Amino acid sequence: MNILVCISKTPDTTAKIAFVEGNTKFDENGVQWIINPYDEWYSLVRAIELKEKNPNVIIHLITVGGADTEPIIRKALALGGDEAIRVNNTSNDSMVVAQEIAAVAKGGAYDMILTGKETIDYNSASIGSMLCALLDTTFIPNAISLDVNGNTAIVKREIEGGEETCETNIPFILSCQKGMAEQRIPNMRGIMAARTKPLKVLEATIHNETTSIQQFDIPPAKSGVKLVDPSNMDELVRLLKEEAKVI
């Protein structure tokens, strides 16, 4: 069974968010890069768990990005990926990224493609759905558990106000979120092994962007908190009613 896990690089969750070049570029200065938490903790670790149960599973990793994503992909290999592909395209347009992944997937005969629920930088939650259209494959979003039985997958997913359990046959695409698996830390053996695992670089083939980022802005800071005396909750209720008009 071949599993393709989509890995993206994001700034660490505590990174300072600032912009340069007239607010047109994210300021990467001093930023620590991590594997997007949804990709690492949920899709990758679940793929590794499936491999631990079934040694016939091969975990393929793909990332679309520049050479600076290599430490991230090496970490994913250290956690337990078997081999990796990096498509050398630095576009920020989800459509371009999805098309690059689809181009690789078309030639790869993957039984399942796992993505994270969303990236924590651009928060688009788009790649899985785009792959669904590009590859004409079933897509189950917001998966919180995945079990495989022969060719059938049993998936639990979040729906608004609850959970849904469903079944589908391979091939399929899932976007993964909390519940799928637990975070792991790579061990020394994994880190050593990752150095020699194959990482193939493919040149970009998609160049037509459908969107372009014009500018970034930081939201204005809150004007300052208004403190209410803990013994005067009537005043807080009045403020919420008359000033904020939210209750």
Partner 1 sequence: MVLIYIDQDEQEIKKASFEAISYGAALAKQLGTHAEGILLGTVKESVEALGKYGVSIVHQVTNSGLNNFDASVHATVVTEAAKKLGATVIVFAHNINGKAIAPAVAVKLNAGLVAGACALPKTDAGFVVTKTVFSGKAFASIKIETPIKVISVNQNSFGVIVGEGNATLENLDLPVPASKIKITSIDKIKGEVPLTEASLVVSGGRGLKGPENWGILLDLAKALGASTACSRPVSDADWRPHHEHVGQTGIQIAPNLYIAIGISGAIQHLAGVNRSKTIVVINKDPEAPFFKAADYGVIGDAFEVVPALTAAILKSKAGA
Ligand X SMILES: Cc1cc2nc3c(=O)[nH]c(=O)nc-3n(C[C@H](O)[C@H](O)[C@H](O)COP(=O)(O)OP(=O)(O)OC[C@H]3O[C@@H](n4cnc5c(N)ncnc54)[C@H](O)[C@@H]3O)c2cc1C
Interface with partner 1 in residues 25-44 (CB under 8 A): 37-38, 41
126 binds ligand AMP per the rule CB under 6 A: yes
Classify residue 184 as exposed, middle or buried by CB count within 10 Å of its CB (0-12, 13-18, 19+): middle
39 binds ligand AMP per the rule CB under 6 A: yes
Other Cβ atoms closer than 10 A to 21: 9
Pick out residues in 195-234 that bind ligand AMP (CB under 6 A). Answer: none
Cα separation of 134 and 106, whole Å? 9
Pick out residues in 154-183 that bind partner 1 (CB under 8 A). Answer: 154, 158-169, 172, 178-179
**Cβ at position 83, least distance to partner 1 in Å:** 27
User: Cα dist. 6→30, 50, 124, 225 in Å?
Assistant: 25, 16, 15, 41
Sole residue written with tokens 């690089």? 9
Segment near ligand AMP (CB under 6 A), from 1-9, 26-34, 75-83, 179-187?
1-9
Q: Which of 37, 116, 128, 171 binds ligand X (CB under 6 A)?
A: 37
Q: Which of 4, 15, 45, 94 binds ligand AMP (CB under 6 A)?
A: 94
**Cβ at position 134, least distance to ligand X in Å:** 30
What, of ligand AMP, partner 1, ligand X, none, does residue 158 touch, CB below 5 to 8 Å by kind? partner 1
7 binds ligand AMP per the rule CB under 6 A: yes
Pick out residues in 82-101 that bind partner 1 (CB under 8 A). Answer: 93-95, 98
Other Cβ atoms closer than 10 A to 101: 26
Cα separation of 67 and 65, whole Å? 7
Which of 32/165 has CB closer to ligand X?
32
Which of 48/125 has CB closer to ligand AMP?
125
The answer to whether residues 121 and 156 touch, using CB atoms and an 8 Å cutoff, is no
Q: What is the CA radius of gyration of the chain?
A: 21
**Cβ at position 66, least distance to ligand AMP in Å:** 10
Q: Where is 108: in which H helix or E strand?
A: helix 94-108
Report the DSSP beta bridge partners of residue 121. none
Pick out residues in 40-79 that bind partner 1 (CB under 8 A). Answer: 41
Dihedral pair phi/psi, residue 48, rounded to 5°: -65, -40
Binding string to partner 1 for residues 194 to 213, with x set by CB under 8 A, is what? ---------------xxxxx
148 binds ligand AMP per the rule CB under 6 A: no
Cα separation of 126 and 205, whole Å? 20
Pick the closest to residue 112 from 43, 49, 166 (CA basis).
Answer: 43
- Contact residues for ligand X, defined by CB under 6 A: 13, 37
